Chain A
Amino acid sequence: MNRQALIYYPLLLCLLLVLFAGGLVFGSVHIPLDSVIRILSGNEMERLAWQNIVLQSRLPQVITALMAGASLAVSGLLLQTLFRNPLAGPSILGISDGANLGVATILLYFGGSMNMTAALPFSGYVALIFASLIGAGCVLALIIYFSTKVKSNVMLLIIGIMIGYLASSLISVLNYYASSDRIHAFVMWGLGNFSGVSMHQLPYYGGVAFVGLLMAILLIKPLNALLLGEMYAANLGVKIKRTRILILFCTGLLTAATTAFCGPISFIGLAVPHVARLMLGSSNHKMLLPVTLLSGACFALLCNLLMVLPEMNNMLPLNAVTPMLGAPVIIYVIVNRKNIQYFD
């Protein structure tokens, strides 16, 4: 392993800390850093409002952003390695759309009102997560089924895109029959948001994300073998079918949970693994996976900061910010693919 790559851990952790702190300091109300630190260390503040903003709103928001970024980036990396296609990602393979469809069914059909700050009753949230998981799981099952029929990964990617369209069209049908306030709730959810998770919901999302990320870390060894292709990997003793299902399950879990809580977030899963690979120069997952995880968290925290930076009462929608950072990365990668070694 490349020794100098180890420098990225402290570097990324510092960046993460700075962005994390930035997320607590900036917003519609500016709260100075020393006050934030005092609030976090449990000291009573003279201004109760600041304390509430930091502990009840901003802290869960930055933690959610951190976990969502890590989850999406890691699932993007897993899919890119599995499909041996640098343009794979949870949103491209239709997995996000499946999760969308699940959420849409709940929000539009059953009408769980999804208020951004106050939340659904607990059972509503559980229903939302389950619906999202079921939607993502159905798409994944379809993808797995087609992956046994279609050998070419490019073709499989196109099938994923088609399934995504199908899910979107079903959502449109649901939209057609739903009342306008339900549609409004769904559209708001669809813009993407890190602030939908309250402090007491956080452990649920955190738990699922933690399990998914842990699973991904346990898959590092077979992921490296898969760089050589499935036949070589099989010859090295990797159980291909099982590994494939584990990878897809892990991606499905991370994507579905994140989509349920934060809305469909584009580009993080697609772009961050490329940023990590370009930084490291290596596609060895022993380094790449942790670096992707940290970069994803940083990327999402940066987006979170950009959302609130206009310092107005309303935040920018998340899905307006992620393409600004993500799309240039993808264009850069495609234009320079001849000179980027991991394409070879």
Chain B
Amino acid sequence: MSTAIEVCGLTMSYAGRRVLDGVDFEVKTGEVFCLLGPNGAGKTTTVEILEGFRQRTGGTVSVLGMDPRAQSARLRERIGIVLQECGFPRQARVAELIDSWRAYYRNPRDLEDLLKVVELARDRNVQVRRLSGGQRRRLDLALALAGDPDLIFLDEPTTGFDPESRRRCWTAIENLRTLGKTIVLTTHYLDEAERLADRVAILQGGRIEVAGTVRHVARQARVKTKIKFAAPERVLDGSLAPPRCLDVVLSGEVAVCQTENSATALRELLGWAAANDLGDLDDLSVETPTLEDAYLQLVTGGTN
């Protein structure tokens, strides 16, 4: 698999203050890559450098094989950018606007196709100012796709949306992935990153704290898997102790076992249940760590 973006030792200073302090990561062609991090960590700066809007202080950056600042005009032919809070001309209609945007590119994508990808085919003659927030966001997406880009930047695509609009926006983004587009996403919603991203990177204090698949990030964050089951009566009344080698805590009537190795812990637990005649453990569940658990662990040093 080839590389769409390569960032090496990227630094950026504003008025002597260092915002990016040696950022390294790469994005492979065709993947959805999500940049996460607390406010002020440098996400926007990083993305603006990749898009060619900002001149970096140091380091090397290659986007689709180009230097984004030196070759910004050529690069814009091949990337699509969805910015936060970007408006539309007031009187425009959906299809009209998309069509006028297609004229800015040398090899535009077919209009009908664009309408279909973002699910706005039925709203093609609607005035832009009559669209809902979710529809406007999908129109944003259509305009970013007008030049049939290989790489798309999405900045907080679903901020402030209701669940239904978020879901439709996600579907549109997933449609893009099936077209083979590379997508760089920034978001504050960890469930969004978890659902859409193949790989995530967490930016903190001007550096990449960790990058990889959600599983990898969770392992790096050393977030434990939780095994839960209904605590048997003998455990509740204290006459039977849970297996000593496991970290089991009672939370009401639920026993929670935190472990880094869920297979071993499960074997241990089931062996213990069989040896003590507890039969099947009721309501047994294994909760693998979510991205949110890992993120909080890494960014705030763990709150739970």
Q: Do A and B come from one complex?
A: no
> Hey, which bits of chain A sit against chain B, CB under 8 A?
none
> Hey, which bits of chain B sit against chain A, CB under 8 A?
none
